[in-house]
Amino acid sequence: MSSSYADILQRIQAALDAAREVFSRFTPGAVATEYKAGHDPVTEADHAVDAVLRQNLLRDGEGWLSEETVDSPSRLDKQRVWIVDPLDGTREFVQGLPEFCVSIGFIENGKPVAGGIYNPATQETFLGSVDSGVLYNGKPAVASQRASLAGALVLASRSEVKRGEWKQFENGSFKVQAMGSVAYKLALVAAGLADVTFTLTPKNEWDVAAGAALVLSAGGYVATLDHASLTCNNRDPLISGLLACGPHLRDDLLAAVQDHIEPAILKSSRHS
C-alpha cells in the first residue's frame, strides 16, 4: 500500500491488532455495563481499547479526540489529530449483535485523510488513506459504482429506525437495512458492500471521522447536511448529520433527502 501516510497506516494497523487482543477477553452479550449521562452504555472494553489505541497511535505534536477520553482544547492547535471511538456500537456489543467496531480516524488540517475500522464479531478490517485507496481484509476495495438509487442498499441507524425517523423513506425505490454503529455502516459503504448510508441526526466527530476517511479514500462521496465537506477537529465535535454514498449516487441521494434536511438542521440547532 504505497502512501505518504504509510507510517500512519502502520500505526492504525498496530492499534487495530492491539484492540483485537483486548476484545478477545470479552464476550459480546455478556459484558458488565454502566451508563453515562444521557443513558449511553459504556463497558470495560471501551476503556481498555481506548488505552491501547492511545498507546499505539499518539506521537508528540499530534492531537487526540476520543469518546472515552476527557477532551483537551490543546488538540485545536494541532495540524494532525487522531479522532477515535474505541467501541462504536456499544449497545450492539452489550446485546451481542455483531454490529460494533473500533474506529480510528486521522485528520490533517481538519480533513479526514486516513482511517481504520475493525469489527471483532465479523473479523472485518477496513484500512485506507486518500492517496492509497482502501483495503478490505487486505484486498483492494472501492465504493459502489451503482448509478441509481433504484434497488440500492441503504444502511440506516438501528436506533433511528426504532424511533420512526426512517418512516419517510419506507416507500422509496431503495432497500433500507437497519444496522448498529455508524462507523461500521460507513466502512461497508467504503468497501462497496453497501451503496449508501446517511443520518439526519446529530453525530459526534468520533462516530464518523474514520468512516468518512475510508469512503473518501475509496472514491465515494461524503458531505454534511449543508452539502459541505466534512471538517473535523472543531471545538464542538457535534455535527448535524452526514451523507455518504458511491460517487455516482450523489445527486440521487441529495434529491431523496433534500426535503428532510432543513427540518433536521433546525432540529439539530435547537438541541445544540
Spell out the alpha helix ranges (H) of the chain. Answer: 6-23, 44-57, 90-95, 158-162, 182-190, 205-217, 250-271
Identify the band that residue 265 occupies on the pLDDT scale cut at 50, 70 and 90.
Answer: low
What local confidence, expressed as pLDDT, does residue 208 receive? 98
> Letter for the amino acid at 167?
K
Cell of 248: 455516482
Burial 53-84 (b: 16+ CB within 10 A, else e): bbebbbeeebbbbbbbbeeeeebeebebbbbb
The CA distances from residue 52 to 47, 84, 144, 195, in Å, are 9, 12, 33, 32
Which residues are CB-contacts of 7 (< 8 A; sequence separation ≥ 6)?
Answer: none
CATH number of 6-141: 3.30.540.10
CATH number of 153-271: 3.40.190.80
pTM: predicted TM-score of the whole model, two decimal places: 0.93
* 133-136 vs 124-129, strand pairing mode: antiparallel
Which residues are CB-contacts of 65 (< 8 A; sequence separation ≥ 6)?
Answer: 71, 75, 81, 82, 83, 84, 205, 206, 233, 237
With cell 458488565, the residue in question is 32
Identify the band that residue 138 occupies on the pLDDT scale cut at 50, 70 and 90.
Answer: very high
pLDDT over 90 (residue 39) = no
Average pLDDT in the 64-85 region? 96
pLDDT over 70 (residue 24) = yes
Q: What is the DSSP string of 157-197?
A: EHHHHHTTTTGGGTTSSSEEEEES-HHHHHHHHHTTSSSEE
Identify the band that residue 45 occupies on the pLDDT scale cut at 50, 70 and 90.
Answer: confident
Separation of alpha carbons 231 and 112, rounded Å: 7
Bridge partners (DSSP) listed for residue 92: none
Cell of 173: 425505490
pLDDT over 60 (residue 100) = yes
Summarised one tens digit per residue, pLDDT across range 228-264 is 999 999 999 999 999 999 999 999 999 999 888 877 6
What phi and psi values does residue 254 have, to the nearest 5 degrees?
-60, -40
pLDDT over 80 (residue 180) = yes
Average pLDDT of the chain to the nearest whole number: 92
Q: Where in the chain is the domain with CATH 3.30.540.10?
A: 6-141
What local confidence, expressed as pLDDT, does residue 271 receive? 53
What local confidence, expressed as pLDDT, does residue 63 receive? 98
pLDDT over 90 (residue 223) = yes
Identify the band that residue 44 occupies on the pLDDT scale cut at 50, 70 and 90.
Answer: confident
Cell of 32: 458488565
For 105, the 3-state DSSP assignment is strand
With cell 492531537, the residue in question is 63
Q: Where in the chain is the domain with CATH 3.40.190.80?
A: 153-271
Cell of 172: 422509496
- Are 116 and 126 in contact by the 8 Å Cβ rule? The answer is yes
What local confidence, expressed as pLDDT, does residue 202 receive? 93
Count of residues in the chain: 272
